[in-house]
Amino acid sequence: MRHGKKFNHLGRKASHRKLMLSNMANSLILHKRITTTLAKAKELRKYVEPLISKAKDDTTHSRRVVFSYLQNKEGIKALFGEVIEKVGNRPGGYTRIIKTGFRLGDNAEMCIIELVDFNELMLKEAKPAKKATRRSRRGSGKAAESTAAPQASAAEDAGSGEEKVAE
């Protein structure tokens, strides 16, 4: 019986699985985003996030421990350099999984796994919340002036465009 055994073997022997996760972790660190199946991405997250946490402490021991997992000098340089520079103050949750649909050949669920602080589109959307203002019936004079001003300037722009065409 397999009570309480949650480990996903991904249909591979232990040595193959270890090398596959090592290669995927290197690709994720070097390219900041990879496309893979959902099952592999979930296992990769469990594999790479502790390595990133270890890399926050830049000592010879931590470099050797992380190298024993990754086995790639370029991956180590990128991890201890630019990756830790961006995620050094984050307490965890270094990766994001975005589901992209199903693969045509075997209908496997596909996704993109990426390092969180390297996606510029997601960072732009995270704007600070607006300051909540108190609404009252009496103070509507400013709101009426501010809405009238853009309409007037738009009308002036349209008029100036017609003059340029006529010349």
User: Has residue 148 got a pLDDT over 90?
Assistant: no
Q: Is residue 44 part of a domain?
A: yes
Does residue 20 sit within a domain? yes
Query: Which CATH number fits the domain that encloses residue 41?
Result: 3.90.1030.10
Q: Assess if residue 142 is contained within a domain.
A: no
Structure confidence by residue, pLDDT tens digits, 28-37: 999 999 999 9
Residue 148 belongs to some domain of the structure: no
In a domain, 22, yes or no: yes
> In this predicted model, what pLDDT tens digit does every residue of 41-60 receive, in sequence order?
999 999 999 999 999 999 99
In a domain, 38, yes or no: yes
Q: Is residue 56 part of a domain?
A: yes
Tell me, yes or no, whether 163 lies in a domain. no
Number of domains in the chain: 1
Inform me whether the pLDDT recorded for 153 exceeds 90.
no
Q: Which sign, positive or negative, has the C-alpha torsion 119, 48, 75, 17?
A: negative
Q: What is the pTM of this model?
A: 0.72
The string of pLDDT tens digits covering residues 79-122 is 999 999 999 899 999 999 999 999 999 999 999 999 999 988 87
Write the DSSP assignment of the chain as a string of letters.
--TT-----TTS-HHHHHHHHHHHHHHHHHHSEEEEEHHHHHHHHHHHHHHHHHHTS--HHHHHHHHHHH--HHHHHHIIIIIHHHHTT--S--EEEEEEEE-TTT-PEEEEEEEGGG-HHHHHH-PPPPPP----STT-HHHHHHHHHHHHHHHHHHHHHHHHHH-
Select from 122, 120, 119, 102 the least CA-distant residue to 111. Answer: 102
Domain of residue 84, residue span: 14-125
Look up residue 165 and give its two tokens: 């065409």
